[in-house]
Amino acid sequence: MIVPPADRNTDPNFPGQPQLHDDTRFAAGKIAIFQYATVIIFLFLISGFWRLQIQSPEIYAEKAEQNRIKSRPLLAPRGRILDRDGRVIVANHVSSTLLLTRENMKPEDLKPIAEGLDLNLPDLQAKAARGGPKYRAIRLKEELSPADLAFVNSHRDVFPELDIISSQPRLYPQDGMMAHVIGYTGEVTQAELDSTDFAKYKQGDIVGQFGIERQYNDALTGTDGQQRVEVDNRGQVREEFKDGTIPAVAGKDLQLTIDLDLQAVAEIAMDGKNGAVVALDPRNGEILAMVSRPTFDPNKFVGHIKASDWNAINANPDHPLMNRAIQAQFAPGSTFKPVVALAALETGTIDENTPVHCPGYVVLYGHTYHCWEKKGHGTVSLHNGIVHSCDVYFYTVGSRMGIDDLALYAKMVGFGQPTGVDLPGEVSGGVPSPEEVLHTYHRKWYAGETPSVAIGQGDLKVTPIQLARAIGGIAMGGVWHVPHLVKNDAIAAKTTIWPVDPKHVQDVVDGMWGCINEAGTGAQSVIPGLDFCGKTGSAQLASVDVAKAAAANHETGLKDNAWFVGFAPRRNPEIVVVALFEHGVHGNLAGPIVRDVVKAYFDKKTRIQTWLQQKTAVTAGLAKVSTLDLPQPAHN
């Protein structure tokens, strides 16, 4: 028998080859490891299934439901702002707001989001970081443009944390009309959130930041609602549920005392000028018109103002954000003379017939004071002193009366203190007195300073609204109401009453009537057929020498301010109007502004009365026809 040669691959005795039983043991070990791993994984899955389905099904079912069902805010529209006749001044319009859900947000997503939506990256990062709990979505951008919408819609898979909801942002009048009265809205700031006034608001909320929007923010702000929606795994809405939805509650409408017709006339009258106009009803303090120039466009502040727009406003040397009606503090010039006249009569310093000779100047306390009329006014008494605004007359009267009584009556009519108007940011002005000089300048009062105060110069500073209230209260016989912009009987009832002699009031009022109707300094503002009273004022901003030097260099910033205050009718006035025309030089150039507003008021009143009379006549005619015994048709 032939024996085959040994196989090198199978013979275990062949030198240098592994043993067969070693390979078997190695393979069995790997299989055992795999089996054990499979058992462990299976046990892990079983335990997870146990916890999920048997041990705590409610918890995990709730988490799954939370991932599937989300709550989206329903933004409440702010209340509308109406004029005194119910006409809409400020409304809302339908727009879109972008929300950022931060629960699943990737920090690295913020940069491309900022670039795609033209947002400032540091601002976006700060907003995302301080926006409160991460489950609460924050407002990322208001007033989405078509480009913004296109970016979000085209990147839904990339940025599922972005969500678009419906909103109703503000729509303000164009060309800055009433901007300083209405104000604007904006996102609540961190400083505001830290204050008690904004304790109920949260990051991202829109609040009033200026004007009426700020003053009555709580009344205008509504209450946001909530809507339940089903979302997919990318966070996109698949279905909206009606059950469980909490509707938004709109803010309350706010009716102002402003008359849009008068406001429009005042706006047009101030076109191209810097300054302010205030028109109010002296019988109750209701503000009928308020204008400040230059103005700004509050629509640019809706949502978030662009940096370029904000820089342009801030860099404007005329300060368009200043409400000159309540914040411009200037010497009133000769519009202060009616207050001096009333004070002199009340204190017995003069009577209506006390004569003062004006040769064009007067020497007091060793100093020569010049009248605006270089050739003088001759001998004048109270009436002609007001009519022709004689400086020498009031220099003399003021020096006789003294600074203490001048300051007393200036404060009596409301100078040197806020009027209490329902707008934020009102300033106090200033009334010079020995006490004020000692406190401010640490020196005594010099008698030679008194004559300048008597013609509305020196350290006397008033605002347009203070002047309107002061002259209106004098014309009303010593009753001063708190000016206000929102119809409110409680505010209207707040009055300051100072018992003054009706004869003295009549003397002052008659002088102001003559200023316009007796060829006085306000003759350019006469309104035929109307008892219109007024007073001009030209107030220096610098000494005569300094002003002349500035004029020689073609600098207009030191030209005199022009003032005019007027009311009508002469007895029981219904409207008082003040105009400040910055650098207008002569008060008679501010007069036509006031004249136009007053005329518009009475023209409108006449139209309404005519319409009511016609309506009454038609109604009476119809009633008469209905009572006639008309023949009845025959019946066959």
Helix segments in 50-120, DSSP class H: 57-68, 110-117
Confirm whether 334 is a catalytic residue.
yes
DSSP 159: -
DSSP 3-state percent helix, strand, coil across the chain (nearest 5): 40, 20, 40
**Separation CA 142–CA 170 (nearest Å):** 11
Which of these, 188, 167, 173, lies nearest to 81 by C-alpha position? 173
Neighbours of 226 (CB within 10 A): 13
Q: Which of 155, 153, 66 is nearest to 103 (CA)?
A: 66
- DSSP state for residue 347 in the 8-state scheme: T
Nearest 5°: the CA angle 253, 254, 255 is 120
Which residue in 167, 292, 334, 452 is the catalytic one? 334
CA dihedral 477, 478, 484, 488 (to 10 degrees): -80
Is residue 269 within 8 Å of residue 584, measured between CB atoms? no
Is the alpha carbon torsion for 591, 597, 599, 602 positive or negative?
negative
Contact 577, 325 (CB under 8 A): no
Q: DSSP secondary structure string, 458-516?
A: TT-BB-HHHHHHHHHHHHTTSEEEPPBSB--HHHHT-EEE----HHHHHHHHHHHHHHH
Reduce the DSSP state of residue 17 to 3 states and report it.
coil
- Report d(CA 270, CA 236) in Å as an integer: 52
Residue whose entry in the numeric block shows the structure tokens 């009267």: 397
Answer yes or no: are the C-beta atoms of 533 and 568 closer than 8 Å. Answer: yes
> Please, what is the Cα angle at 495 between 493 and 496, to 5 degrees?
170
- Residue 468 makes CB contacts below 8 A (sequence gap 6+) with 278, 279, 280, 483, 565, 576, 577, 578
Calculate Rg over the CA atoms of the chain: 39
How far is the C-alpha of 257 from the C-alpha of 491, rounded, in Å? 12
What sign does the dihedral 440-443-444-446 (CA atoms) show?
negative
CA distances 224 to 157, 231, 397, 592, 630, Å, are 29, 21, 63, 48, 62
Among residues 527, 515, 608, 614, which one has the least CA distance to residue 569?
A: 527
Interior/surface letters 242-264, b for 16+ CB within 10 angstroms, e for the rest: eeebeebebbeebbbbbbbbbbb
411 in Cβ contact with 417 (< 8 Å):
yes
Phi, psi of 318 (to 5 degrees): -85, 0
Cα dist from 187 to 191, 203, 308, 489, whole Å: 12, 8, 18, 32
According to DSSP, residue 15 is labeled T
Query: Which of the residues are catalytic?
Result: 334
